[in-house]
Amino acid sequence: MKMKHIGIIGVSSEGAALCYRTICEEGFAKIGKFIHPEITINTLPLIDYINCFEKNDWNTVASLMLKSTKTLASAGADFAICPDNTVHYAFNILKINSPIPLLSIVEIAAKECQTKGYKKVGILGTKYTMQGGLYNKALTNFGIESVIPNEDDIEIVNTVIFNELSPGQVSDASSKPLIEVIKKLKKSGCTAVILGCTELPLVINQNNSSLPPIDTTRLQARKALEFALKI
Tell me the whole-structure pTM to 2 decimals: 0.95
What's the CA gap between 57 and 35, in Å, rounded? 40
> Per-residue pLDDT for 39 more than 90?
yes
Task: Kindly list the strands in the beta sheet with 39-43, ordered across the sheet, starting from the edge strand earlier in the chain.
Answer: 39-43, 6-10, 79-81, 102-103
Hey, what domains does the chain have and what are their CATH numbers?
Answer: 6-105+218-229 (3.40.50.1860), 106-215 (3.40.50.1860)
Tell me 12's DSSP state.
Answer: S
**124 has a pLDDT exceeding 90:** yes
Query: In the predicted model, is pLDDT for residue 203 greater than 80?
Result: yes
Q: What's the pLDDT tens digit per position in 43-94?
A: 999 999 999 999 999 999 999 999 999 999 999 999 999 999 999 999 999 9
pLDDT at 231 over 80: no
Mean residue pLDDT of the chain comes to 96
pLDDT in tens, 143-169: 999 999 999 999 999 999 999 999 988
pLDDT at 1 over 90: no
Q: What is the maximum span of the chain, computed from C-alpha positions, in angstroms?
A: 51
Neighbours of 168 (CB within 10 A): 12
d(CA 91, CA 143): 22
